[in-house]
């Protein structure tokens, strides 16, 4: 199955724009960026579009070398304005300092930047360094397809006359979730997804095993409201540790937390509902901890990003 992700239309291509595209690994950010590039090539010279995967750089100094190379290329070839894509840029320590240096020197005034990353906490230094200095740039979240989005991709109309097709599509959605590779039946995807989650947790200085166990406990307790203390009691760890890992999984776009609200005030200390963002994430995390998850648990576990 093929589709054009709608999020690529939200990226600003105006000069001096600094866009942030963030979302979980394996969700299709790179593919979406390359689809956008292929469309741009129909109306721009190839030399005015630059794409670099920062996974190929060992540190931020190499990123600076790459940007200097492209700057010299533009000068030699008379390129006045460009669009620069830096994929997985957040994997490089201090990456935003390099960009800040270019901005302070006025070297990106005619360029649009598209910065792609997999965890929101890695954009914290960037946000502090560029307050109000991103031009028309936007922050775009790329998440697995919600069920309404999935239904549109499957060309299933959400109306009562399509009731049987909707039910059939929902059953399939509970198995595949909204990741492109899972929808297209890639057998290697479950392992790749877990490996990428573990890599991000290690980079954040956390233990992947503890992350999986906390995720498993959340899945088993859903959809009931739960407390960090109840999870901590089950696993024999502190509630502060549970809170820390839940925050990490939020930053990695794996789950969401819904707090109780009374009289306009959010009650952070009360029990809250924690939901996995995508059914395939729930399946993969559960299986990685030698657990199983039923279709009923899947359908109750999360909101799966219902959209208007």
- Is 54 within 8 Å of 91 (Cβ atoms)? yes
Q: pTM of the entire structure? A: 0.85
pLDDT digits 0-9 by tens, 7-36: 999 999 999 999 999 999 899 999 999 999
- Residue 185: count other Cβ atoms within 10 Å of its Cβ: 9
Write down the pLDDT at residue 258.
85
Write down the pLDDT at residue 304.
52
- Is 93 within 8 Å of 54 (Cβ atoms)? no
- Is 219 within 8 Å of 249 (Cβ atoms)? no
Write down the pLDDT at residue 308.
35
- All residue ranges of the chain with pLDDT < 50 are 303, 306-308
Q: Which domains does the chain have, with CATH numbers?
A: 6-141 (3.40.50.300), 187-301 (1.10.10.10)
Write down the pLDDT at residue 298.
61
In DSSP terms, 49 is beta-bridged to: 83
Write down the pLDDT at residue 112.
96
């Amino acid at each position: 199955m093929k589709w054009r992700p709608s999020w690529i239309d939200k990226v600003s291509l105006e000069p001096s724009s600094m866009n942030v595209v963030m979302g979980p690994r394996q969700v299709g950010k790179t593919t979406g960026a390359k689809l956008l590039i292929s469309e741009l090539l129909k109306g721009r010279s190839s030399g005015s579009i630059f794409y670099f995967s920062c996974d190929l750089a060992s540190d931020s100094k190499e990123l600076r070398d790459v940007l200097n190379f492209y700057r010299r290329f533009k000068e030699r070839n008379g390129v006045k304005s460009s669009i620069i894509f830096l994929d997985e840029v957040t994997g490089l320590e201090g990456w935003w300092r390099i960009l800040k240096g270019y901005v302070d020197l006025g070297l990106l005034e005619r360029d649009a930047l598209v910065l792609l990353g997999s965890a929101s906490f890695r954009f914290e230094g960037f946000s502090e360094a560029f307050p109000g200095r991103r031009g028309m740039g936007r922050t775009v979240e790329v998440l697995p397809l919600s069920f309404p989005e999935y239904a549109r991709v499957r060309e299933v109309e959400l109306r009562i006359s399509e009731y049987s097709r909707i039910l059939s599509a929902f059953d399939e959605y509970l198995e595949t979730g909204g990741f492109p590779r899972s929808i297209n039946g890639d057998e290697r995807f479950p392992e790749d997804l877990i490996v990428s989650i573990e890599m991000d947790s290690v980079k954040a200085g956390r233990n992947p095993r503890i992350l999986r166990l906390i995720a498993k406990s959340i899945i088993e307790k859903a959809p009931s409201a739960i407390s960090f203390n109840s999870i901590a009691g089950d696993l024999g760890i502190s509630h502060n540790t549970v809170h820390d890992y839940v925050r990490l999984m939020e930053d990695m776009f794996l789950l969401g937390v819904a707090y109780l609200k009374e009289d306009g005030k959010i009650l952070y200390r009360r029990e809250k509902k924690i939901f996995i963002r995508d059914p395939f994430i729930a399946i993969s995390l559960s299986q990685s901890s030698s657990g199983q998850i039923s279709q009923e648990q899947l359908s109750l576990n999360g909101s799966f990003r219902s959209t208007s």
